[in-house]
Structure 1
Amino acid sequence: MTRTHLSLLSVAALVTLTAFALPDYAVASFSNMTPGGTINGWQSLNLGNAPESRYTLVRDGGTTVVRGQADASASGLVRRFDIDTNRYPLLSWRWKADDVIQGGNINSRGGDDYPARIYVLFDYDPADLSFGDRVKYRALRALGYDEIPVRAISYVWANRASETRPVANAYTDWVQMIPVESGSANVGTWRNERRDVAADYRAVFGEEPPAIAGIAIMSDADNTGNSATAYFGDIRLSTR
């Protein structure tokens, strides 16, 4: 086979791969929305009896983003969907925090507040829980908790520079916390983040990831009783 034939085959193979490449999945296209308008496709995500945080479409950095404001409050916005984690493992987003939360501590319930979180919710069957966890799950349902994430990763803007390693949530190890930004060094500036969700899930849960069932954004400051403001840009999932 001549060198010309090999080159033509290489070009043909590249065209074929490009044709079958999966497009990114747009989780959030806030930049296409109108400041002050409705955050289409997203629903409120409430946590117990805590007051609700406020979410508003605003103009910042030349584009439309969501501003989250927490005043001794804790709630988020969630978009629900179903997508194969191994097929779309890469999560990318932009965010900015005005400041970290004084008194925030990733290792304590009283400090479980963050100016910005990105929750990844997984479609995990409660029947696959251990016996003890199934008992806990049924008890929570009996107490009126309808939306119980039995598997979730919370990517957080941690409040302390020393908080850099993944840890279980202070309330439940069903939610694993992964600091992406830590401390105040980068507050006030937009940060572009990218995480391999499938790899992170395997690392923190020690099992293969189920499908992604939704993504949530959140600013919360209910445990410390403080305030926080953060901004969230577009979010997308992509292939490798």
Structure 2
Amino acid sequence: MCFDCLGFGVSSPAGRIGKISRRDAMLRASALGLVLPFAGPALRPAQAAEQGGPAAADLVSGIKDIIARASSPEVLASRVFEINGADLPWTDLGLDAAQGQQMTFLLGGRMWLSREHDLWFGPGLVFHARTRGQLPIYNPMLDTGTMTASHDGRIEVARSAAEWANEDGVLATPQDIYRKADVRITGIALLWRGDAAAGVRSLLAHGDVGGVLKSELARLQRGGKLPAGWSNLLGFGGGQEVFSQGADGEIICDTAGHVSIIERPLSLALASGPRLAWRWKIDQLPSVVAEDQAATHDYLSIGVKFEDGQDLTYIWSEHLPEGKVFRCPLPAWKAIETHMIVRSGKADLGTWQAQERDIAADYAAHIGGSAQAISKIWLLAVAPFQRRHGACRYADIKVTTGDNAVHRV
């Protein structure tokens, strides 16, 4: 394959990213799990509708002008910052926050996977922040977001595309490979004296830039929360912007170019004969082509994680046949993740459909590892490659064991 065509040797706004060796390219692809082999023709029918927000320079200069005009007492401090490919995490913003204080991030830029194929991640997907080097790490997923400081201390920012080794923000990707990324994120951090929504509103009264202030105010007013009992998988924040609890108990999933994996603990022995059952109504699939290629691996899914670290996810695909099983095409996930197509085609989209799977049988047939038990149930919404809209609802998720014990999720 041609590694030059993956965008490793192109110029970036941060400066020339020199040609890297085939070995480095392979290491980076393996470590990142997102920069990978793909063919141009596969992407042509999957052109994304969403093309990103305002230019980074326009965003920063515009927001600075609004701050100056507004002279808002709600703005305690602000900082413009830049995160480039050569920067190692973490960067100190030089802003001190008190525990419970809110800070809004407005972000521009891109992380390029391939310029030739117009394959990139938006800044909110890879941006992370924390207070004083401590947990938790905040990831907005959207290109605007507001963090509440969990501790007193300095605010630090970083970028990661699923590259944390642990919750402490230590890199799993080798530093020399990490620093070759073609990325530039430009942002402005706004530290509020009081309520973030009041602060954003005070600025919005004096203008906006590409709708970012309006978007963040709407997000704050939505007050998104994860469904009860669910949490974000490490490295994938912003689940509350993708998944929400419906009034009648349904879990609503709505994504547009983002990635979210949420999980709920459930420990059951495979010997107990667990069967996963659920109902789903998929209104919009995020992929317009087959999902078994790296550059078009956008899908909605429910999955099971096993105690050996393996996971198996069940997918509804428009293009792949029912019964097809394949390992994840992303290098960092290929060793641990298996996908199964359990429903195919467009005919039943927009209608409720019931599914049931024998977890132990599927594990034995398609993974065959050492696990003796399942550990978690997953919901996955993956749409960063084609950056298209995906929407579905889940209901009546339960695992029933051979003794007819029902575990509702």
What is the TM-score with the length of structure 1 in the denominator?
0.66
Change (3 A) 1:177 1:38: closer
Which residue pairs with 1:43 in the alignment? 231
Gaps spanning 5+ residues in structure 1: where? 1-35, 125-149
Name the amino acid aligned to 1:159.
Answer: E
Change (3 A) 1:40 1:51: closer
Query: 1 or 2 for the larger relative contact order (CA 8 Å, sep ≥6)?
Result: 1
- Mapped partners of 2:290, 2:372: distance in 1: 29
Change (3 A) 1:158 1:53: farther
Aligned length: 176
Q: Deviations over 1:166-187 (max 9, x none)?
A: 1111121421101111121210
Asked if the contact 1:119–1:155 (Cα under 8 Å) also holds between the matched residues in 2, the reply is yes
What is the TM-score with the length of structure 2 in the denominator?
0.40
- Mapped partners of 2:239, 2:397: distance in 1: 26
Name the amino acid aligned to 1:43.
Answer: S
Q: Indicate the SS of the match to 2:362.
A: helix
Q: Indicate the SS of the match to 2:233.
A: strand
Q: Indicate the SS of the match to 2:363.
A: helix
Q: Indicate the SS of the match to 1:185.
A: coil
The alpha-carbon deviation at position 51 of structure 1 amounts to 9.0
Name the amino acid aligned to 1:202.
Answer: A
Asked if the contact 2:321–2:341 (Cα under 8 Å) also holds between the matched residues in 1, the reply is no
Change (3 A) 1:78 1:41: same
Gaps spanning 5+ residues in structure 2: where? 1-223, 403-409
Change (3 A) 1:110 1:47: farther
Does residue 76 of the first structure (1) align with residue 261 of the second (2)? yes
Higher CA-based Rg: 2
Counterpart mapping for 1:1-240 below 5 A: 39-45=227-233, 47=235, 54-59=242-247, 63-114=248-299, 116-124=300-308, 150-162=309-321, 164-171=323-330, 172-207=334-369, 209-240=371-402
The alpha-carbon deviation at position 50 of structure 1 amounts to 9.3
The alpha-carbon deviation at position 222 of structure 1 amounts to 1.0
Change (3 A) 1:53 1:223: farther
Asked if the contact 2:279–2:354 (Cα under 8 Å) also holds between the matched residues in 1, the reply is yes
Name the amino acid aligned to 2:336.
Answer: W
| RMSD (Å), alpha carbons | 2.4
Asked if the contact 2:282–2:351 (Cα under 8 Å) also holds between the matched residues in 1, the reply is yes
Change (3 A) 1:156 1:81: same
- Mapped partners of 1:118, 1:38: distance in 2: 16
- Mapped partners of 2:268, 2:384: distance in 1: 32
